[in-house]
Amino acid sequence: MKYYQYEIETASRDEISAIQSERLVKTVRRIYDNVPLYRKRMEDSGVCPDDIKSIEDIEKLPFTSKQDLRDTYPFGMFAVPQSEVVRLHASSGTTGKQIVVGYTQNDLDIWADICARALAAIGATKEDRVQIAYGYGLFTGGLGIHGGSQRLGCATIPISSGNTARQLTVMQDFGVSVLACTPSYGMYLAESAKKEGIDTNKLPLRAGIFGAEPWTEEMRAQIEKSLGIKAYDIYGLTEIMGPGVAYECECQNGMHVNEDHFIIEIIDPETGKHVPDGEKGEIVFSAISKEAFPILRFRTKDIGVITHEKCACGRTFVRMSKPMGRTDDMLIIRGVNVFPSQVETVLLQNGYQPNYQILVDREGLLDTLEVAVEFPPERFTDKVSEISRMEKELANKLKSLLGVAAKVSLVTPGTIERSEGKAKRVVDKRKL
């Protein structure tokens, strides 16, 4: 079973647009009537629900930001009475007060469907055993994929993140075939398996569904090689639903947005205007079928591109690229824009593992950039001249790709902190 819901996943553009228009119009009316913040925003920008007749009119609507959700904390954006809400999740993000989102039973059903689509797209069936090593709890990762895995009929293993030794025991003893966790935890599991002498290539494990944090194509290749699996991407965010907003198919060439439930726009972050397919911009999402927590034109701060080109898998949903960074994690070092993903690409292309940290500071008026990365275990040495030769070589490679000088510090394998959830790659001391 390659598709979970074949008809909608392969619907024509006209059919998709018709569904989107109908749901958008309804959502606008509903939130105008039920959410004071939206009513005020729309009134302030001179739009009324009757102005929105189809998705063509979406640009008339005001944006929503994370700050709006903080300002209405905890339940100010909910559009149904409390008695209809059957689940709450929350996200704190990297800074600031947490935000709370809610789901009706119908919302949870849709969430399970979209995660089931994601699992089916990577070839999972009810014959599979799925180890869910995303965190369970207020984070949407664990319970989100859990709902999809159960909906598809897979034997679902709700192990949550952490306790790596137990993860490896379960993986072997239960004959796990699909792993779900963050890519950085996937790498850590691979590394730990190797240390324990477990050859994951000999296990039934054959695919992984990784997301919740940025990862590069180079990291994908490493995970595939070290775990002996196919590694697929899955995207989502708490404000819109959780995991499953977009999902990769076997083509591994962009993530299909579940367009019957979410409208994606790519905008120029400065002007707020749409940019054409293939051009980079900020990703904006509207959730058009959610009951408890509908959201319109949410500015994700993720940067990506979309394409409407046909995908070889037969799905017609628009594809988004891996997010290439965030408008708020782009570092500006001496005036040059640097994304952590660029650093990761250079490291992995040069034989290093994705165990690194980027340290930014300011000496006097000058920004400093340092990349601490572990020696590849097989190249570990205590010879000072060799260490400085390797550091210089990597620093040159970084400079030529980033356009700004970086100091490289090679550190002992195993000393950069491992993550069981989202890895913390950047320490920017300038803001402290």
Q: Among 32, 78, 232, 235, which residue interacts with ligand DLL (rule: CB under 6 A)?
A: 235
Q: Which is nearer to ligand DLL, 300 or 353 (CB)?
A: 300
Looking at residue 422, its amino acid is K
Q: Among 214, 254, 281, 354, which residue interacts with ligand DLL (rule: CB under 6 A)?
A: 214
User: 152 burial class (0-12, 13-18, 19+ CB within 10 angstroms)?
Assistant: buried
Strand 325-326, strand 295-304: pairing: antiparallel
Contact yes or no for 258/244 (Cβ under 8 A)? yes
Contacts of 214 (CB under 8 A, 6+ apart): 322, 323, 324, 325, 326, 340, 341
Q: Which is nearer to ligand DLL, 107 or 233 (CB)?
A: 233
Give least dist CB 142 to ligand DLL, A. Answer: 8
Residue nearest ligand DLL by beta-carbon distance: 211
- Find the length of the chain: 432
Give least dist CB 18 to ligand DLL, A. Answer: 28
Asked if 325 interacts with ligand DLL (CB under 6 A), we say: no
Contact yes or no for 378/415 (Cβ under 8 A)? no
Considering only residues 161-200, where is the footprint of ligand DLL by CB under 6 A? none
Q: Among 5, 72, 91, 98, which residue interacts with ligand DLL (rule: CB under 6 A)?
A: 91
Give least dist CB 129 to ligand DLL, A. Answer: 19
**Cα separation, 369 vs 407, whole angstroms:** 6
Asked if 254 interacts with ligand DLL (CB under 6 A), we say: no
Considering only residues 331-390, where is the footprint of ligand DLL by CB under 6 A? none
**Cα separation, 183 vs 181, whole angstroms:** 6
Give least dist CB 307 to ligand DLL, A. Answer: 17
For residue 282, the Cα-to-chain-centroid distance in whole angstroms is 14
In this chain, which stretch among 19-27, 113-121, 320-328, 360-368 interacts with ligand DLL, using CB under 6 A?
A: 320-328
The DSSP secondary structure of 369-400, one letter per residue, reads EEEEEEPPGGG----HHHHHHHHHHHHHHHHH
Give least dist CB 428 to ligand DLL, A. Answer: 17
Please, what sign has the CA dihedral across residues 379, 385, 391, 395? Answer: negative
Asked if 421 interacts with ligand DLL (CB under 6 A), we say: no
Q: Among 62, 242, 254, 281, which residue interacts with ligand DLL (rule: CB under 6 A)?
A: 242
Q: Among 233, 259, 265, 367, which residue interacts with ligand DLL (rule: CB under 6 A)?
A: 233
Give least dist CB 361 to ligand DLL, A. Answer: 24
**Cα separation, 209 vs 22, whole angstroms:** 32
**Cα separation, 241 vs 181, whole angstroms:** 17
Q: Among 102, 148, 323, 340, which residue interacts with ligand DLL (rule: CB under 6 A)?
A: 323
Asked if 114 interacts with ligand DLL (CB under 6 A), we say: no
Give least dist CB 221 to ligand DLL, A. Answer: 16
In this chain, which stretch among 155-163, 228-236, 268-276, 290-298 interacts with ligand DLL, using CB under 6 A?
A: 228-236
113-151 core/surface letters (b: 16 or more CB in 10 A; e: else): bbbbbbbbbbbbeeebbbbbbbbbebbbbbbbbbbbbbb
In this chain, which stretch among 66-74, 233-241, 309-317, 407-415 interacts with ligand DLL, using CB under 6 A?
A: 233-241
Q: Among 102, 141, 186, 281, which residue interacts with ligand DLL (rule: CB under 6 A)?
A: 141
Asked if 285 interacts with ligand DLL (CB under 6 A), we say: no
Nearest of 322, 236, 238, 327 to residue 281 by alpha carbon:
327
Task: List residues binding ligand DLL (CB under 6 A).
Answer: 91, 134, 140-141, 211-214, 233-238, 242-243, 300, 302, 322-323, 326
